[in-house]
A and B are shown apart, each in its own frame.
Chain A
Amino acid sequence: MTNILKTEGLSRYFGAVVAAEDINVTITDGEIVGVIGSNGAGKTTFINMVTGYLPPSSGVINFDGQPIGSLGPRKLMRRGLARSFQIPQLFLELSVLDNLAIALSAAEGRQLNMIRPVRTPERISAADEILEQMNITQYRDEMVTAMPQGARKLLDIAIAMLGEPKMLLLDEPTSGVSTDEKYNLMDTVMEMVRRRGLTVLFVEHDMEIVRRYVTRVLAFASGVVIKDGAVDEVLADDQVQELVTGKRHQPQTEQGDA
């Protein structure tokens, strides 16, 4: 069991504001981890530091054995660390097919070319396959602006998965998606994750989603990790219930005086 991500003393300050403090997390290959916490608790700061969007104020981040604290998103992608976004980051005025074609071309890692076309038959069929897996083939030649939010999130996540990443961070994959579509989306995503054997970390507010798809939970509050462990254990914890989930999300077994 190899450690794929290890943070030690990871902290981030904005002036006097403590966005994250002394985060010590170890994630092993193949885990599916949920990250929960109320708004401003430090989850997104943590993800932003790990994915190179925000430099840490102090602390160490090791990915696959190598320190990555100072690397930007571009180099991290090359090392196998990918992420999706809370607000899908797509090329709005390009077609869905083109979005995938560029992503596929970039994921191949070859030098940029001035003559050879991006839309090769191989890439087009690879893109078509992805669209089918996600069930959004109808948007193939449309601009992204024509897609509803759920489809956009899927595309955003699919693009992140290209290029055989070793670890995938998803930032609120189901936010903005209607309740009935949430499970469809997560089923599709987790199927693709399983097929590739990826390690996944995802931020989520919906505790039902968390309960259904993860085995381990990191709970954040006020910039620190207050609980790190198995799903049921974390969700039953008093402090977690007080600061994050509220008492509605008790596990199936009865608690004493709640």
Chain B
Amino acid sequence: MMRLQKTEMLLVVAALALGLSSLISPDWLVFTSTLAIAAALVVMGVVMLMRAGLVSFGQGLFYCIGGYAVGLGGRFLGVTDALALVGMGIVATVALAMVLGLLLTRYREIFFAMLTLAFSMILYGVLVKSHGLGSTDGFGVVNWSILGYQPDPGHESATGLWLAIVLALAAALFLNRYFQSSIGLACEAIRENEVRVEYMGISRRQVLYINYVIAAALGSIGGSLTALTAGHVDPTMAYWTISGEFVFIALLGGTGHVAAPFIAAFIFILVRTYAVELFPNSWQLILGVVLLLIILFLPKGIWSLFTQKRRAEA
């Protein structure tokens, strides 16, 4: 196998540090961190698409499927192993993504964005009208275990965090390689100049299709982790506002580094937790204003602040 790159070693260290810190952190922080990591996984999917020049306003579709897979698997199929539940979510999501991808890879820009929005809203509509699934209330997630290990009461959140860290680390290491691989660079090339990509003999549709399906899978894992942590799923997971939040976090962090979505997600979830309590009717207003400011002044996200600083020092 290949040697670990510097970035990858840092990622492993950060993951270990975060995991170990759970021993001394208060429960609410462990809980919030897990949710942030779950969100970051979905955002990584958004970032994958952005690197190809596409913006998805509908990752909530896969986020919701991942969540409901956990909920339904537990409730109706009696599955309680967390890894099995996450796996079920991935299978369902990839199956759907492989179908939708056939249509979506024909489109770009506005069409792509609005079609993804529409598909997630269609799921929302179907779920809201499904009384068997609890309609707008959703339903609760059963107690879960991992590979036979049942967390002691009081230690569930730590187990959840470790699960999230392991999955997120795997995803981050994979994406670090992916972004440097021929498919990863082909995605960026497509963003820059599709004509040239065609004339190089690369199949744009094939590249975008694979990219889309993997991004969907990441969204699903994020949704599954959220369901396992929050203990509840409901149709709002597929509502446009949630997808919009993922886009916001992606822009906040930028697409320049694999760690950026995590940092941005942490900031976002922490701020949101306070803001929603203090200003429930102005939270979206704040989001919108900050989004405009980012687009106007920091189009490459917060991460660009770090890279600019380094270049200034050199």
Q: Do chains A and B make direct contact within the complex (CB under 8 angstroms)?
A: yes
A residues sitting closer than 8 Å to B (CB atoms) are: 51, 72-74, 77-78, 82-83, 85, 89-94, 98, 101-103, 105-107, 109, 112-119, 159-160, 163
Q: Does B188 count as interface, using CB distance less than 8 angstroms?
A: yes
Q: How far is the CA of A90 from the CA of B189 in the complex (A)?
A: 9
| Interface contact B198-A73, CB-CB below 8 Å | yes
| Interface contact A109-B192, CB-CB below 8 Å | no
Give the residue of A90, A98, A112 whose beta carbon is less than 8 angstroms from that of B196. A90
Q: Does B7 count as interface, using CB distance less than 8 angstroms?
A: no
Q: Chain B CB within 10 Å — which of A92, A103, A109, A160 has the most? A: A103
When distances are taken between beta carbons in the complex, the residues of chain B under 8 Å from A109 are: 201
When distances are taken between beta carbons in the complex, the residues of chain B under 8 Å from A98 are: 185
Give the residue of A74, A105, A117 whose beta carbon is less than 8 angstroms from that of B198. A74
When distances are taken between beta carbons in the complex, the residues of chain A under 8 Å from B182 are: 102, 105-106, 112-113, 116, 118
When distances are taken between beta carbons in the complex, the residues of chain B under 8 Å from A90 are: 192-193, 196
| Interface contact A73-B183, CB-CB below 8 Å | no
Q: How far is the CA of A85 from the CA of B192 in the complex (A)?
A: 16
When distances are taken between beta carbons in the complex, the residues of chain A under 8 Å from B282 are: none
* Number of A-B residue pairs having CB atoms within 8 Å of each other in the complex: 90
Q: How far is the CB of A255 from chain B (nearest CB, A)?
A: 42
Q: When A91-B192, A94-B189 are in contact, do A74 and B203 touch as well, CB less than 8 Å?
A: yes
Q: Does B106 count as interface, using CB distance less than 8 angstroms?
A: no
Q: Does B25 count as interface, using CB distance less than 8 angstroms?
A: no
Q: How far is the CB of B210 from chain A (nearest CB, A)?
A: 8
| Interface contact B201-A101, CB-CB below 8 Å | no
Look across to chain A and name the residue whose beta carbon is closest to the beta carbon of B203: A74
Q: Does B130 count as interface, using CB distance less than 8 angstroms?
A: no
When distances are taken between beta carbons in the complex, the residues of chain A under 8 Å from B199 are: 51, 73-74, 77, 82-83, 89, 160
Q: How far is the CA of A103 from the CA of B189 in the complex (A)?
A: 10
| Interface contact B192-A117, CB-CB below 8 Å | no
When distances are taken between beta carbons in the complex, the residues of chain B under 8 Å from A163 are: 201
| Interface contact A113-B181, CB-CB below 8 Å | yes
Can you list 28 residue pairs at the A/B interface with Cβ under 8 Å? A72-B198, A73-B199, A74-B201, A74-B202, A74-B203, A78-B201, A83-B199, A92-B193, A94-B185, A94-B192, A101-B185, A102-B182, A102-B189, A102-B200, A106-B201, A106-B202, A109-B201, A112-B186, A112-B207, A114-B177, A114-B181, A114-B184, A115-B178, A115-B181, A116-B177, A118-B184, A118-B185, A163-B201
State the 7 A-B residue pairs at the shortest beta-carbon distance, nearest first: A91-B192, A77-B201, A106-B200, A89-B196, A117-B180, A73-B198, A73-B199
| Interface contact A94-B188, CB-CB below 8 Å | yes
Q: How far is the CA of A83 from the CA of B200 in the complex (A)?
A: 10
| Interface contact B193-A103, CB-CB below 8 Å | no
Look across to chain B and name the residue whose beta carbon is closest to the beta carbon of A93: B192
Q: When A116-B182, A117-B180 are in contact, do A91 and B206 touch as well, CB less than 8 Å?
A: no
Name the interface residues of B110-141: CB closer than 8 Å to any CB of A: none
Q: How far is the CA of A101 from the CA of B182 in the complex (A)?
A: 9
Q: Chain B CB within 10 Å — which of A90, A92, A105, A117 has the most? A: A117
| Interface contact B189-A107, CB-CB below 8 Å | no
Q: How far is the CA of A76 from the CA of B76 in the complex (A)?
A: 53
When distances are taken between beta carbons in the complex, the residues of chain A under 8 Å from B180 are: 117-119
Q: How far is the CA of A102 from the CA of B207 in the complex (A)?
A: 13
Q: How far is the CB of A123 from chain B (nearest CB, A)?
A: 10
Q: How far is the CA of A83 from the CA of B199 in the complex (A)?
A: 8
Q: How far is the CA of A117 from the CA of B183 in the complex (A)?
A: 10
| Interface contact B200-A103, CB-CB below 8 Å | yes
Q: How far is the CA of A51 from the CA of B206 in the complex (A)?
A: 22
When distances are taken between beta carbons in the complex, the residues of chain A under 8 Å from B206 are: 112
Q: When A112-B183, A112-B207 are in contact, do A107 and B177 touch as well, CB less than 8 Å?
A: no
When distances are taken between beta carbons in the complex, the residues of chain B under 8 Å from A89 are: 193, 195-196, 199
Q: How far is the CB of A54 from chain B (nearest CB, A)?
A: 13
Look across to chain B and name the residue whose beta carbon is closest to the beta carbon of A160: B199
| Interface contact B196-A114, CB-CB below 8 Å | no
Q: How far is the CA of A163 from the CA of B184 in the complex (A)?
A: 21
| Interface contact A112-B178, CB-CB below 8 Å | no
When distances are taken between beta carbons in the complex, the residues of chain B under 8 Å from A160 are: 199
When distances are taken between beta carbons in the complex, the residues of chain B under 8 Å from A72 are: 198
Q: When A91-B189, A94-B192, A112-B186 are in contact, do A117 and B202 touch as well, CB less than 8 Å?
A: no
Other A-B pairs, 5, CB within 8 Å; known A77-B201, A94-B188, A94-B192: A107-B200, A112-B210, A113-B181, A113-B183, A159-B200
Q: How far is the CA of A102 from the CA of B193 in the complex (A)?
A: 12
